[in-house]
Structure 1
Amino acid sequence: MNINSTLISGFQALNDIGYLLQNRRSLLLVTDKNISAIPAVATLTEQLRRQADTLIILDNVPPEPSQHDVAAQLESLNGRQVETVIGIGGGSVLDVAKLLSVLCLSGAPTLDQLLAGEKPTARLPSLLIPTTAGTGSEATPNAILAIPEQETKVGIISPVMLPDYVALAPELTTSMPPHIASSTGIDALCHLIECFTATVANPVSDNYALIGLKKLFASLETSVAEPHNLQARLDMLWASYYGGAAIAHAGTHLVHALSYPLGGKYHLPHGVANAILLAPCMRAVRPAAVTKFAQAYDLLPNADRSLNDEEKSHALVDYFAALVRRLKLPASLDELGIKADQLPQLVESALDVQRLIKNVPTPVSASMVRNIYLTLFPTLSA
């Protein structure tokens, strides 16, 4: 899958947005109210308002949007014509912007048709600007939607949704509170390590994953502790982008398959659900990915090169568990007050995510999935 987006990056990269969009006269800006209040975004919005004949702003995209939310966004446009779609925000905003770039095009499939598996063949020109360093949505062909009726999430996937332009501006991420920077960073980590170890991994996705992992290991904790460290924030944006690019060429697997039901049923933020599952899932797949785990371990700033591959693979899983603790993210569902009475439904829902389960480098059974979920309820074995 080719990623042909034009990228601009660095402090004040937003100053170049006007040039990129100089001939676009009718713009749709997709964001949320928290993001639209960021001074740099407000400045960009005013620039776009002066530059374009029409600027339509949709600034109420919710976290973890459902298909109903996207339908409401589309309906609110009242058929107004749009020439270019701009998404500024976290993964939820960018996913909605990608979908609207398809749905606002005359003759496009409906949202229901996309959910049923029909693939779009065209979209409006688009620009995506992430304000979190986690989802990598700006580099993936995916748009993830919650399906409340099924208490899970689904992905609408098509290379058509990859944007024309991407801007990585670290100043937009400095307002993220520590828990958001931590959880979105862990999401990026999951993308990178899952794609690196997936059955569909290949030299292209491996290259993206290894570059991204090196940047992430070196910058995640610094970016959380020092939110105005623009170099660390930019490195995290690149790590996130590389994670998205790895997804575009390979795919995630066990962590994401098991996290979708947690988001769908309990509405856990995606990064938090992934953080809880990271170490348990990686411990389960480690025996089938020892060499690659060892390669990833060697990218850690303080890696012990005297270990053999088997020891390195165990040490990497230990690092993941310790990292989640250091970032003060939840390590169990018990901590969040979630009970284990829905365990059978969680297992069933996770196994239904076959597009991800098939990427797991080891056979996946119901008992395996149940045992992983059980580790998230330590009080059951106390």
Structure 2
Amino acid sequence: MSFASPQAFGAIARIVHGTGTISTLPEEAKRLGATRILLVSDTGLERAGVLGPVQALLDAFDVEVFTDVEPDPSLETVARCAEVARTCHADLVIGLGGGSVIDVAKCAAAFVNNPGDVRDYLGIDQLKNPAVSKIMIPTTAGTGSEVTNVAVLSLKAEKTKKGIVSRHLLADCAILDPELTLGLPAAITAATGMDALTHAIEAYLSRFAQPLTDYFALQAITKLSSHLRTAVHHGANIHARHEVMTASLFGGLAFGSAATGMVHGLAMPLGGLFNIPHGIANAVLLPHVMRWNMPAAVARFADIAKAMGQPVDGLSPREAALLAITTVEELSADVGIPRWLDDLGIPRSAIDALVDDGLTNMRQILPNPRDVTREGLMDIMNKAFRP
């Protein structure tokens, strides 16, 4: 792939990463000059006993808590959270949770100073004013949202998902403590881990890839190939949890600048129309989209196979490229991800609607390594069903 066209690499200013680093939260809040904090989380983390200890770390501050965040959050949820942030005059928003919570927290911080309808800010660079300070603390290892400038929201009436992309969504600090993921169920660990793998693979295959994103993408692919199975099937293994969280971070740093492709472009309609969790939608679609994209990026597919630990010496470029796809399928099966859209209860009659929606996702069409056509997406979707 040529790097002749100049590319920009964007990243957040501060990442605090490692076991036990949640204890640094008060120090990070003070560093940002916080006095009034909105802590965004969800009821699941509250019931699981994760929210309470983190809130206790903030006893020295005036803290308001918002936990009304659903999976795949809606525009309306973001609007409610932003109103709470404005009402309590928050000068710091902390997101504690998975990708849904973090996306809501990032948006709430941005909308304190960007009034109006959330819908008006969908798309790229529509936020004109800076956000209040933000600290993001992931409790899953998959979305990478804590280090990206993207938030994905559900448009419930239209049954689809769209994104807000802006430098004003970048966090001022991310705290990544793998101890916060120790209680994750195996199924969520698998889905979020495969989401991270999708980020890394699509970033590496992106037309907007560059040396820095390539480094982070390949490192993420290697770490997930080596450690995701252990994190899923031996969840108390803190080393595996640390490596998977690091991979998620690296995947976020990669796709935050290189973008994603048509795995995401088709996964968003699956989530919007059928409420399929984002990580599951990505994981099921990943090998099918890879197989269709492979002829456009054979050498890069071979690199992915090598990063996943496969011996590619002596293989033809095409053989090595195909090995990347089968290795992804094996990893997905080993962590319990369904192989076919049928397994998710998706009817074949939905293919046209899914493809039509996918064709509106230009943020994923433009970076995709193969030119996207309606016929191509129909081919992907037809082959994603059980033969």
Check whether TM > 0.5. yes
SS state at 2:132 partner: coil
User: Which deviates more, 226-235 or 17-26?
Assistant: 17-26
- Say if 1:347 and 1:262 are closer, same or farther in 2 by CA, change over 3 A: same
Alignment of 1:109-188 (within 5 A): 110-115=117-122, 118-188=126-196
SS state at 1:298 partner: helix
CA contact (8 A) 2:25 2:57 kept: no
Alignment partner for residue 107 of structure 2, among 99, 102, 106? 99
Alignment of 1:249-328 (within 5 A): 249-328=257-336
Alignment partner for residue 373 of structure 2, among 365, 372, 377? 365
Amino acid at match of 1:26: R
Where structure 2 has 5 or more consecutive residues not aligned to the other structure, the ranges are 1-8
Post-superposition offset of 1:119 = 2.4
CA distance in 2, matches of 1:74, 1:248: 24
Partner of 2:89: 81
CA contact (8 A) 1:103 1:110 kept: no
CA contact (8 A) 2:85 2:108 kept: no
Alignment partner for residue 44 of structure 2, among 28, 34, 42? 34
CA contact (8 A) 2:73 2:154 kept: yes
CA distance in 2, matches of 1:205, 1:271: 21
Q: Could you state the TM-score of these two structures normalised by the residue count of structure 1? A: 0.94
Partner of 2:24: 16
SS state at 1:352 partner: coil
1:51 aligns with 2:51: no
CA distance in 2, matches of 1:113, 1:345: 24
CA contact (8 A) 2:41 2:51 kept: no
CA distance in 2, matches of 1:180, 1:346: 24
Amino acid at match of 1:112: R
**Identity of matched residues, %:** 32
CA contact (8 A) 1:3 1:139 kept: yes
CA distance in 1, matches of 2:300, 2:312: 16
CA distance in 2, matches of 1:332, 1:352: 24
1:352-381: per-residue Cα shift (whole Å, max 9, x none)? Answer: 111211111112211111111112322xx4
Alignment partner for residue 341 of structure 2, among 333, 336, 340? 333
CA contact (8 A) 2:160 2:271 kept: yes
Post-superposition offset of 1:196 = 0.4
Amino acid at match of 2:187: H
Post-superposition offset of 1:128 = 0.4
Partner of 1:212: 220
CA distance in 2, matches of 1:337, 1:110: 34
CA distance in 1, matches of 2:121, 2:171: 18
1:139-166: per-residue Cα shift (whole Å, max 9, x none)? Answer: 1100000112222111100112111111
Post-superposition offset of 1:29 = 0.3
SS state at 1:163 partner: coil
Post-superposition offset of 1:307 = 2.3
1:225 aligns with 2:244: no
CA distance in 1, matches of 2:316, 2:123: 47
1:106-157: per-residue Cα shift (whole Å, max 9, x none)? Answer: x556423212652233011110011111100011100000112222111100
CA contact (8 A) 1:195 1:247 kept: yes
CA contact (8 A) 2:82 2:109 kept: no
Where structure 1 has 5 or more consecutive residues not aligned to the other structure, the ranges are none
CA distance in 2, matches of 1:114, 1:46: 34
CA contact (8 A) 2:38 2:85 kept: no
CA contact (8 A) 1:204 1:249 kept: no
CA distance in 2, matches of 1:40, 1:33: 10
SS state at 1:222 partner: helix
- Say if 1:165 and 1:76 are closer, same or farther in 2 by CA, change over 3 A: closer
SS state at 1:143 partner: strand
CA contact (8 A) 2:86 2:112 kept: no
Partner of 1:60: 68
Post-superposition offset of 1:304 = 4.5
CA contact (8 A) 1:109 1:120 kept: no
SS state at 1:149 partner: coil
Alignment of 1:233-244 (within 5 A): 233-244=241-252
Amino acid at match of 1:111: V
SS state at 1:127 partner: strand
Amino acid at match of 1:299: A
CA distance in 2, matches of 1:286, 1:112: 36
CA distance in 1, matches of 2:261, 2:50: 36
Post-superposition offset of 1:306 = 3.4
CA contact (8 A) 1:108 1:120 kept: no
SS state at 1:244 partner: helix
CA contact (8 A) 2:93 2:133 kept: yes
- Say if 1:120 and 1:218 are closer, same or farther in 2 by CA, change over 3 A: farther
CA contact (8 A) 2:308 2:327 kept: no
Partner of 1:349: 357
Partner of 1:6: 14
SS state at 1:150 partner: coil
